[in-house]
A and B are shown apart, each in its own frame.
Chain A
Amino acid sequence: MERRVAAMDPNIPNAGRVYDYVLGGTHNFEADRQAAEYMISLVPSTRKWVRMLRMFLHEAVLQLSEEGFDCFLDLASGLPTVEHIHQVVPHAKVIYVDNDPVVVAYGTQLLEGNPRVRYIEADIRDIDSLLRSPVIGELFGDNRKIAIGFNAVTCFLTEEEVKRIARALYEWAAPGSRMFGTFETKDPHLMTPQMQQFLDMFDRMGSPYHFLTLEQSIEWMKPWEADEPGFRPLAEWLGLQDQITEADREGVGLEFYGAILVKR
């Protein structure tokens, strides 16, 4: 408990609040902002890429809602702020999941009084335990035709973890379920000192960050299949292709993809 209370210290950067700051949110403190600005100093395009992640989530959730999905299970959610799912589709039932006790405790309080939203503290590496959580049945009932959020997740997992999670979710979800995800890639043959420092920073925080390739992203998510139009750069999803410059690729061929996957 002491560790958890200490972790809520606003003088210590918290990943969820750092992310909130980069997204343009206000649920953050000076220590979070300094940490975020350090990241941005190393990889100046960070803000663009991170904001595209949230814009894609927005587009995907709206599309799935229009297709009739009203139950959303979002993995590694971060803080439920800055136009997260329940704000985009207020009528839907949403379960957020994160393994950071600070984010969950804080997020739960932000969501207090909203009967359609729950926040589960769980590590998605232990996906079977998560899927057995009584909270899922309480909110979704027997419905397993679910839209699953898998955004900016693979970069924090190993190949074996991604494959096991994807398989477990596939077996758990009903046919017709969707998974909307983002996949952060770079050219595996390219690296710069700044990008290495950026990655080292995540290592020091105990959350190693791995870029994938597009081929790995597609392969690791099987048996989920990409719905039309497949894995596409986020900028294409959003109609912002012209706004991504070569400098934004940071000398390592950065590209973030988005896909809506389906269980046949």
Chain B
Amino acid sequence: MGSEVGMEELRKRVETRREALAARMRAALEEHAFTNRALFPPRQLAEFARQEAEAFLAFLSDGDEGVVRERGRALAQQGLSHRSVLALVQALQEVGWESANPEVELWPSLQGAIGRYTRAFLEGYMVAREESILEQQEKTRQALLRALQREGQ
């Protein structure tokens, strides 16, 4: 992990591309809007993209992976699809690369920060998804069993 000064420099660079980052994330989310679940309303995608861009900038300020993990978990519970997540990661990398240019020596540090952010986000996201699937499987099993028992009586 880079020094605090390094992170702050990176934040300032990405800050100059804040609007572009939000716009690119919005486009990515819209492209995959049909893969999300209904609790993730299409009309809120622009606001969500803005929040996601802010979340990354906040991470560049404080480096708090726990907050990012929690965000991944919350968004999985809200119904953000894995396709949307992958599209967001790609948008982040593209805008990150543009932010580093032309001083390409910044790119390894920024790439490292994007990697840590993505890993923490995915950890939270995947844990929540797995919990949800297991919970739903158990509900399915119990519902089917009880329905069969009831019908068999």
Contacts and interface: CB of A to CB of B under 8 A. Distances in A.
Given A4-B151, A105-B147, A82 B38 contact: yes
B148 interface: yes
B41 interface: yes
A59 interface: yes
Contacts of A112: 146
B144 A26 contact: no
Nearest to A81: B136
A240 interface: yes
> Chain B interface secondary structure, helix, strand, loop or mixed?
helix
A52 B43 CA distance: 13
Given A26-B140, A238-B43, A51 B34 contact: yes
A73 to B, nearest CB: 20
Interface in B134-153: 136-137, 139-140, 142-144, 146-148, 150-152
Interface residues of A, number: 35
Interface string B103-129: 000000000000000000000000000
Contacts of B143: 27, 106, 109-110
Contacts of B136: 25-27
Contacts of B34: 47-48, 51-52, 240, 243
Contacts of A51: 34, 38
A27 B140 contact: yes
Residue of B42, B136, B146, B152 with highest tally of chain A CB at under 10 A: B42
Given A51-B38, A239-B42, A5 B151 contact: yes
Residue of A47, A59, A105, A108 with highest tally of chain B CB at under 10 A: A105
A58 interface: yes
Nearest to B39: A83
A205 interface: no
Contacts of A240: 30, 33-34, 42
B64 interface: no
A6 B146 CA distance: 15
A242 B27 CA distance: 11
A23 B38 CA distance: 9
Nearest to B43: A239
Contacts of A57: 38
Given A109-B146, A238-B43, A58 B38 contact: yes
B31 interface: yes
A106 B144 contact: yes
A30 B13 CA distance: 49
B131 to A, nearest CB: 12
Given A8-B144, A26-B140, A239-B43, A105 B38 contact: no
Interface in B28-77: 30-31, 33-35, 37-39, 41-43
A58 B40 CA distance: 10
B133 interface: yes
Contact of B133 (A26, A108, A243): A26
A243 B30 contact: yes
Contact of B37 (A24, A27, A47, A243): A24
A127 interface: no
Given A52-B34, A238-B33, 6 more contacts: A23-B37, A55-B41, A58-B39, A105-B151, A240-B33, A243-B33
